[in-house]
Amino acid sequence: MTTLNVSLDADGIASVEMARPEAFNAFDERMIEELGEAFAALSGNDKVRVILLKGQGKAFSAGADLQWMQRASVASHAENLADARRFAGMLAAVAHCPKPTIACVQGLALGGGVGLVAACDFAVAAEDARFAVSEVKFGILPSVIGPYLINAVGKRAALQLALTARRFDASEARSIGLVHQVVTREALPAAARAIIDSLLQNGPMALAEVKALYGRLHVGPVDGDVRELTAQTIARVRMTAEAREGFDAFLNKRPPAWMREAAP
């Protein structure tokens, strides 16, 4: 890959690092394609337990490469639609990944960079991180990232950020739920590692089941369809080999197999 550094360590921790520091990790057609491919490949790799999404250099991601946007502005409607669908597919690959995902944010996260943060399950930010949903400044709108931003911070806060395009700091990002923890830049790896350590204690298939189920649940009435979905899900998962291993390990006061496999 030409725009990413992708690695996997012995504990099953995958790292996806955006590697266009000279462009503040702004993404163009190539990076969008490679991010989608990377997350699809890692999603299907049984050795992967957790995925870290990072940006090389001073910034996490400045969002869309403006040269890419300029090319799109003179392309045909069919070309624009295909291009936008590829971007939407990439964000979906991140958001629907069955492995837990953690965004590590330093410096700028603008536009689509905010979308990447919102699409991850966890986000830790350095104290110097700055965010903006900046699309309207260029006469466009945060359309593809909109659903992920709304899911992360709520509809009213997302609308306010999208309409004003103002910059906000890491503390505000934490207060609205875009990020979950704010630390010094030097402490980012340790903060991410603490989340990883908690995740590695849990059944990997159970984590995937949580993500799949919660992706189908919405705030609102718990009607018959929702009750049936949750009942069918737990009935099926209780019968899996991983569940049997988890129950047996607890009752016999021993670490479950997935923790032994992750131990150094």
Active site residues: 135
Of 159, 254, 240, 255, the residue nearest 206 (C-alpha): 240
- Burial (CB < 10 A; 0-12, 13-18, 19+), residue 125, is buried
Cα distances from 103 to residues 54, 113, 164, 234, 236, in angstroms, run 6, 10, 24, 29, 31
Backbone angles phi, psi at 238, to 5 degrees: -60, -20
Give the CA angle between residues 128, 129, 132 to the nearest 5°: 140
Q: Which of 89, 78, 141, 159 is nearest to 119 (CA)?
A: 89
State the virtual CA torsion across 51, 55, 59, 63 in degrees, nearest 10. Answer: -80
Host H or E run for residue 231? helix 224-237
Q: Which one-letter amino acid corresponds to residue 136?
A: V
Burial of 223 (0-12, 13-18, 19+ CB in 10 A): exposed
**Residue 261 contacts by C-beta under 8 Å, 6 or more apart in sequence?**
none
Q: Are strands 181-183 and 50-55 parallel, antiparallel or unpaired?
A: unpaired
